[in-house]
Structure 1
Amino acid sequence: MKTLDYLHLNDAKVANVISALNQLLADFQVHYTNLRGFHWDIKGHGFFVLHGKFEDMYNDAAEKVDEIAERLLMLGGTPENKFSEYLKVAKVKEISGISCGSEAVDHILDTYKYLIGAERKLIDLANEAHDDATADLMTGYLKEQEKMVWMLVAFSTKACEK
């Protein structure tokens, strides 16, 4: 028996979930690398706050990479493990040489905008496949990311409004 037989999931319905998880894995790998670069390259005003925050964020992204890969394996998929392959399919693009905090935060917000949209679509695919565990995993990501977006937007606000 295959794992999906024990999970009461249909191969054909789960195929779309596996494809979307592979896409998300590639995107998170590039996102992780971008965050590492921001952490290393940040300079100027806000260095102490952002240097530590970027480290927290890349550690979180690394954990999500592992969770996504393990979920792929549970569903009978094969997670890619070559960065060259991630770069071929990732919609999140590599970024380097950013030392300005506000520019890094803008890039991170753009990435979250994409990731949140991709995760919402993945929830729909998972629900169609009756894959509650993947939907729940993505819902947890959304909860964390929506809060992070709120905090980054508050941090990047130029002036206080009255």
Structure 2
Amino acid sequence: MKNFIGIESQQAETLAQELNTLLASFQLHYQSLRGFHWNITGRKFFELHLKFEEYYNDALLKIDEIAERILALGGKPLHTFSQYLQHSFITENGYVSTEKESVELVAAHLSALLAAERKLMRLAADASDEGTTSLLSEYIKQQEKTLWMLRAWSE
């Protein structure tokens, strides 16, 4: 049986669950970026303060898009911090203020998000879910470039 957007209901439910895990993980990533933005110190303060703000604004847009995609699939997006903590594959970082550690954590988060997005993209392709596939394809392209830039910055 297909749902109201033409995707098999069971596949849509699985995709919505996986997208909720991605949503929760993006929320933890977002909150980490806010903390890095607020607490960064060192010679690269001005550069990283602005960069982390750029990253958290981008993450916030993705969070909204992911939640809306869950709704389009017929699911319900998670919306409490306790749910985010329970479902996220990204963990809380605590207080981080150094350039090296904060950039390494952003890179680690993006790598984890990429792995989840690639898995989800395969599920979406199997379900002929072009909406989710297209969304994730853009995220992957952008995050790969960001990882390359973070690596170049770190060398």
Identity %: 45
> In structure 2, what is the equivalent of residue 51 of structure 1?
49
Q: 1:12 aligns with which of 10, 13, 26?
A: 10
C-alpha displacement at 1:89, in angstroms?
1.6
What displacement does 1:97 show?
1.3
* Pairs within 5 Å for 1:4-153: 4-5=3-4, 7-153=5-151
Deviation at 1:118, TM superposition (A): 0.2
Q: Which moved more, 1:10-19 or 1:126-135?
A: 10-19
Using structure 2 for the length normalisation, give the TM-score: 0.97
Task: List structure 1 runs of 4+ shifted beyond 3 angstroms.
Answer: none
Task: Compute the RMSD of aligned alpha carbons.
Answer: 1.0
- Cα drift, residue 63 of structure 1: 0.4
- Distance in 1 between residues matched to 2:74 and 2:106, nearest whole Å: 31
1:60-117, CA deviations, whole angstroms, 9 ceiling, x for partnerless residues?
0000000000000011000011011110121101112111011100011111111000
CA contact (8 A) 2:16 2:73 kept: yes
Structure 1 gaps of 5+ residues are 158-162
Determine if contact 2:34/2:56 at 8 Å carries over to the other structure.
yes
Whether the 8 Å CA contact 2:27–2:84 is kept in 1: the answer is: yes
List runs of 5+ in structure 2 lacking aligned partners. none
Question: Residue type matched to 1:155 in 2?
Answer: W
Greater C-alpha Rg: 1
Query: Separation in 2 of the partners of 1:90 and 1:14?
Result: 20
TM-score (norm 1): 0.93
